[in-house]
């Protein structure tokens, strides 16, 4: 049995980070399937936040507004090329990006991931799998379900869906 440590630097509003997580999940599954003894290998993934400064407003705003701000320096042709490339890649990893919804500061969403990782360090907590589940749920909520992952109620709901204690999450 090998212990393989992977450090992922990410922001939950980053589409490329979501694509990267899906590719990482696939690579781990492939390793476990084809590498001799790979089924018993343990993957320790450390999620490290990176803030893209995606929303500089003090409150949640429409994602479409932020996309317009972020891509304002691109020509229409460059935008079309970007969206076409993203569409091609997202299909290959099973993501259905949607541009609606709102977003505010992702700090609390990152704090939630940090909380789960810290809990995973406790013996017999099962937290590492829970961390991966919550990260996936956060990416999906923002990019596919058009949910505001800066909203406390959304974070609590996603956490409970992943099997976390709602009282611990509220703290």
Q: Which residues are CB-contacts of 60 (< 8 A; sequence separation ≥ 6)?
A: 102, 103, 104, 148, 150, 151
Sign of CA dihedral 67, 73, 79, 81: negative
Point out which residues pair with 103 in neighbouring strands: 61
Q: Where are the beta strands (DSSP E) in 11-147?
A: 42-49, 61-62, 102-103
Tokens 């320096």 locate to 73
Measured CA to CA, the distance from residue 90 to residue 136 in angstroms comes to 15
**CATH code of the region 3-170:** 3.40.30.10
pLDDT at 122: 52
Residue ranges covered by each domain of the chain: 3-170
Q: Would you write out the chain's pLDDT as a tens digit for each of its 171 residues?
A: 899 999 999 999 999 999 999 999 999 999 999 999 999 999 999 999 998 766 677 789 899 888 888 889 999 999 999 989 988 999 999 999 998 999 888 899 999 999 988 887 554 444 467 888 899 999 999 999 999 999 999 999 999 888 888 888 887
pLDDT at 127: 46
């Amino acid at each position: 049995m090998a212990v393989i440590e992977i450090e992922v630097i990410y922001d939950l509003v980053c589409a490329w980070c979501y694509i990267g997580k899906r590719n990482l999940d696939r690579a781990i599954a492939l390793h476990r399937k084809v590498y001799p003894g790979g089924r018993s290998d343990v993957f320790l993934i450390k999620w490290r936040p990176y803030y893209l400064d995606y929303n500089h407003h003090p409150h949640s705003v429409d994602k479409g507004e932020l996309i317009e701000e972020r891509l304002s320096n691109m020509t229409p042709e460059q935008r079309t090329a970007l969206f076409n490339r993203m569409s091609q890649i997202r299909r290959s990893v099973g993501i259905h990006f949607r541009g609606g919804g709102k977003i505010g500061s992702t700090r609390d969403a990152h704090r939630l991931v940090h909380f789960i990782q810290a809990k995973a360090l406790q013996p017999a907590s099962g937290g590492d799998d829970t961390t991966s589940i919550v990260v996936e749920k956060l990416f999906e909520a923002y990019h596919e379900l058009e949910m505001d992952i800066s909203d406390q109620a959304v974070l609590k709901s996603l956490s409970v869906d992943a099997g976390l204690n709602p009282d611990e999450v509220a703290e």
